Amino acid sequence: MTIQDVAQRANVSIATVSRVLNDNQRVAGELRERVLMATDQLGYKPDRVARRLRAQKSEVIGLIVADIQNPHFVSVIQGVQDAAYDHGMNIILCDTNEAPSRLAENIQVLRAESVAGLIIVPTPSGNIDLLQELQEDHFPLVVLDRTIEGLALDTVMSDNFQGAYDAVQHLINLGYRRIAGIFPNVQTGIERRNGFIQAHLDAGLGKPSPSLILNGSYRVQGSYEVAYQLFSERLPEAVFTATNFVTLGVIRAIRELGILVPNDLALVGFDDLPWADELFIPYTAVAQPTYEIGTQAVQLLLERINGMAEAPRLVKLPVRLVVRASCGSKQRTISTPNL
Amino acid sequence: MTIQDVAQRANVSIATVSRVLNDNQRVAGELRERVLMATDQLGYKPDRVARRLRAQKSEVIGLIVADIQNPHFVSVIQGVQDAAYDHGMNIILCDTNEAPSRLAENIQVLRAESVAGLIIVPTPSGNIDLLQELQEDHFPLVVLDRTIEGLALDTVMSDNFQGAYDAVQHLINLGYRRIAGIFPNVQTGIERRNGFIQAHLDAGLGKPSPSLILNGSYRVQGSYEVAYQLFSERLPEAVFTATNFVTLGVIRAIRELGILVPNDLALVGFDDLPWADELFIPYTAVAQPTYEIGTQAVQLLLERINGMAEAPRLVKLPVRLVVRASCGSKQRTISTPNL
DNA sequence: CTGAAAGCGCTTACAG
DNA sequence: CTGAAAGCGCTTACAG
């Protein structure tokens, strides 16, 4: 079933069929009718592969995320998918698992697939050259979550600084003073640490003690270990966790140590989690507009593809604080240890 | 940068370049060397779109899942992705959100993309004809999680009956008798209900009371409501939840009603969840081999694509019980209500 | 407005 | 073993 079959049935040339289907040129009413009817009767769907090869334009967007197991990215994917869908485009999804080598391979494959553009969550390091190359080739590209130093690219991200700032201010306003922060050593972690510190300064509390600013892993287990040790030595009054996986590690430590929340310890975490309400500690969270990150990314990318964009743009989306029981401001949850 | 450039640099015809790169025919050592060198120097990557159009074979697999927000499918996706990757293939991911209309559209688009084959989680109803059409066209297809009545297709799924059976047997062995079950009204739910009932029969307890066999939604909220009402009327000794989202709804009801687990109520759920240990109720779970479902699906699909398969095959994978504190068999978790 | 023809970048019979 | 040529299913100048 090809364009030939339609042309034959409609008694026109394949050129006319193509024109009707892409309506990019005037076609006489009667011929148009015949083509449409034939298309309909045969259930003809143009071969997108052939079209892509010939027209050098594509209905596919490549999406490369860092960890599909992370709910943050799942929601971003959904946003990208829905927005792409609205524009008749599909996505090819790739997962780097935070490995630069896999990012390189994925970019290569997606270019070989002639995707119309790329939406990428860069791996922590070692791929600046790849992104730079894409830019030099004028390949449509939007970067998510992380900016690349020395490289101006279309970027969509949350306001990490402000989110952390708001979270810590929330704690300070509730009267908490000895506030620990656990930050993974990636770019977003650093921005959130700056917000953490600034909130202290603006509240007139001075710079927080270095002993309260901890490096966490971006994995649950590593964060759990950091928290376990911190809490064992001397319990702070409150803790700010800089990512969802850090939060989960901290919750595990809280459970194992039998710490009462919020009585003995308050908790605010960056990133909301699905089913946060069903967690051992339903925690107050800085919720990122994850879905919107995805839709905005598609928006920017399409503009770039269509040549409607000039200079690289940075879209920084606002976050919002979802207050739950873990700071004692709302209702209280008392968590008890295993027996 | 095309095959022309490579041919020119290596001083051979494009046919020779193609032969070397696909090594499907003998090429003299010296020419082969030159081609390889030129390919390397230019960093040439064949255009997969052109290849697909001409060779009528594809390096892309279409994957259609029912709900990307569900951790079950996230893990399946990862399995598919990794296995596909191992065979030099990529996936185009689509999400139906359980909507038959979207399944239809996705199938259409993926066929227009000339994917090599399709891995599909069918939506609950209304798409038997679509799958049947694929089968009649001999389009490579593997179905996940659900069988289609009256249609024999390559299928990969968990042993739902046995999983539910094991879970309930576990409860019975621990001494629980009044065991409620909450099942969403989809095929997997029905199989699990049968396992639930059979475990009762085999233990000599007779058929469980209909009042203890409940229809839940496959969403969290709906399941919560069912559980809330059930628990409010008369608390059973134990509850078996037939899917992860049902489990989350039940956990919410448990929290709100201040039910003590496992003292007043034991809980076993189908589907393990990531961070189940960090939930309000770390529950004993029937863990599906989700990742393996994905890898097996790719395995079957590749065999089908390569014409190595004859009759449709049904792969039923074993599940395993992950024992946590929610049945009192291990350590006890006492959950207390909000204050 | 319409059709015949060229061509997108490949692969693969067909000759030699 | 190697190359010239045909052709995958489309789109789009080019004529008319």
Task: Convert the pLDDT of each residue in A1-36 to its tens digit.
Answer: 899 999 999 999 999 999 999 877 788 889 999 999
Would A90 be classed as within a structural domain? no
Whole-number distance in Å between B54 CA and C10 C1':
6
H helices present in chain B, as ranges: 3-10, 14-22, 29-42, 48-55, 71-86, 100-112, 128-136, 160-173, 187-202, 220-233, 244-257, 290-305
Same domain, yes or no, for B41 and B168?
A: no
pLDDT at A140 over 50: yes
Nearest nucleotide, CA B16 to C1': D2
Of A48, A95, A339, Cβ closest to residue B331: A339
Residue where the block lists tokens 């997969």: B48
In a domain, A26, yes or no: yes
A203 and A327 belong to one structural domain? yes
Q: How many angstroms is C1' of D10 away from CA of A7?
A: 13
What is the pLDDT, as a whole number, of residue B338? Answer: 31
The stretch B56-60 carries a mean pLDDT of 87
Identify whether residues B327 and B204 lie together within a single domain: yes
Q: Which residues touch strand C (CB under 7 A)?
A: A 12-16, 19, 25-28, 30-32, 50, 53-54, 56; B 2-4, 14-15, 17-19, 21-22, 24, 44, 46-47, 50-51, 53-55, 57
Residues ≥6 apart with Cβ < 8 Å to B221 = B249
Question: CA-to-CA distance for B120 and B297, rounded, in angstroms?
Answer: 10
H/E segment holding residue A195 = helix A187-202
Q: Hey, which residues does A285 pair with through a beta bridge? A: A269, A322
Domain extent for B3: 1-46
Q: What residues does A157 pair with on adjacent strands?
A: A316
A111 and chain B: CB distance < 8 Å anywhere? Answer: yes
Cα A62 from Cα A88, distance rounded (Å): 14
pLDDT of residue B101: 87
The pLDDT score that the predictor gives to residue B88 is 85
Q: Does A213 touch chain B (CB under 8 A)?
A: no
**pLDDT confidence bin for B126, thresholds 50/70/90:** low
Separation of CA A25 and C1' C1 in angstroms? Answer: 9
| Residue A92 parent element (H or E) | strand A90-95
Q: How far is B64 from chain A (nearest CA, A)?
A: 12
Average pLDDT over residues B253-276: 94
Residue A195 burial (10 A CB sphere; 0-12, 13-18, 19+): buried
Q: Does residue B56 sit at the A interface (CB-CB below 8 Å)?
A: no
All residues of chain B having their beta carbon less than 8 Å from the beta carbon of residue A45 are 108, 111-112
A258 part of contact set with chain B, CB < 8 Å: no
In a domain, B145, yes or no: no
- Token pair 């070989």 is found at A112
Residue B105 included in any domain: no
Q: Which of A270-279, B15-24, B92-101 has the highest mean pLDDT?
A: A270-279
In angstroms, the CA of A46 and the C1' of D11 are apart by: 12
Q: What is the pLDDT of residue A7?
A: 94
Whole-number pLDDT of residue A334: 43
The chain B residue lying nearest A281, using CA atoms, is B280
Of A49, A274, A334, the CB nearest to B69: A274
Q: What is the CATH number of the domain that holds B27?
A: 1.10.260.40
| Distance of alpha carbon A296 from alpha carbon A80, whole angstroms | 8
pLDDT above 60 (res A333)? no
The mean pLDDT value of chain A amounts to 91
Closest alpha carbon to C1' of D8, residue: B54
CATH number of residue A179's parent domain: 3.40.50.2300
Q: Which single residue has its CA nearest the C1' atom of nucleotide D6?
A: B54
Question: B194 and B324: one domain?
Answer: yes
In a domain, A245, yes or no: yes
A24 Cβ contacts chain D strand, under 7 Å: yes
Query: Which of A3, A42, A45, A49 has the highest number of chain B CBs within 10 A, making it the mutation to test binding with B?
Result: A49
A28 touches strand D (CB under 7 A): no
Count of structural domains within chain B: 2
Q: At what angle do helices A29-42 and A3-10 cross, to 10 degrees?
A: 130
Whether residue A24 lies inside any domain: the answer is: yes
Q: Which of A116-130, A321-335, B185-199 has the lowest mean pLDDT?
A: A321-335
State whether A279 and B275 contact (CB < 8 Å): yes
Tell which wins on pLDDT, A290 or A127.
Answer: A290
The reply to whether A22 Cβ lies less than 7 angstroms from strand D is: yes
Q: Which residue of B has its CA nearest to A44?
A: B112
Are the CB atoms for A225 and A50 separated by under 8 Å? no
pLDDT score, position A26: 81
Q: C12 C1' – B19 CA distance, angstroms?
A: 10
Q: Is B28 in the same domain as B170?
A: no
Q: How far apart are CA A41 and CA A33, in angstroms?
A: 12
pLDDT tops 90 at residue B225: yes
- Residue A90 scores a pLDDT above 90: no
Collapsing DSSP to helix, strand or coil, A21 comes out as helix
Residue A335, pLDDT > 50, answer no
User: Do A41 and A164 fall within a single domain?
Assistant: no
Indicate the pLDDT class of residue A65, thresholds 50, 70 and 90: very high
The residue lying closest to nucleotide D9, measuring its CA against C1', is A50
Alpha-carbon distance B264 to nearest alpha carbon in chain A (angstroms): 15
- B49 → closest Cβ in A45, A52, A279: A52
Question: How much of chain B exceeds pLDDT 90, in percent?
Answer: 75
| A/B interface, count of CB pairs below 8 Å | 129
Distance A322 CA to D10 C1' (A): 52
Tell me: do A41 and A182 sit in the same domain.
no
Could you tell me if A279 lies within 8 Å of chain B, comparing CB atoms?
yes
B112 contacts A47? CB cut-off 8 A: yes
Angle made by CA atoms A107, A112, A113, in degrees to the nearest 5: 95
Q: What mean pLDDT comes out for the span A122-145? A: 88
**Which pLDDT value is given to residue A126?**
63
* Sheet order of strands, B90-95 included: A314-317, A155-158, A141-144, A117-120, A60-65, A90-95, B90-95, B60-65, B117-120, B141-144, B155-158, B314-317
* Distance, Å, A4 CA → D8 C1': 13
Q: Give residue A217's pLDDT band: very low, low, confident or very high (50, 70, 90).
A: confident
Q: Is the pLDDT of residue A124 over 80?
A: no
- CB contact at 8 A, B275 and B97: no
Q: Can you give the pLDDT at residue B36? A: 94
Could you say which of B29, B46, B63 is where a domain stops? B46
pLDDT at A42: 93
The DSSP code for A63 is E
B158 pLDDT band (50/70/90 cuts)? very high
Domain boundary among B46, B62, B78: B46
Q: What is the mean pLDDT of chain B?
A: 91
Please name the residue ranges forming H helices in B89-237: 100-112, 128-136, 160-173, 187-202, 220-233
* Contact (Cβ atoms closer than 8 angstroms) between residue A128 and residue B132: no
Residue B144 lies in a domain: no
Question: Nearest by CB to A251, which of B91, B278, B338?
Answer: B278
Domain end position, chosen among A9, A31, A46: A46
The answer to whether residue B126 is domain-embedded is no
Considering only the beta carbons, identify the residue of B94, B113, B336 that sits closest to A49. B113
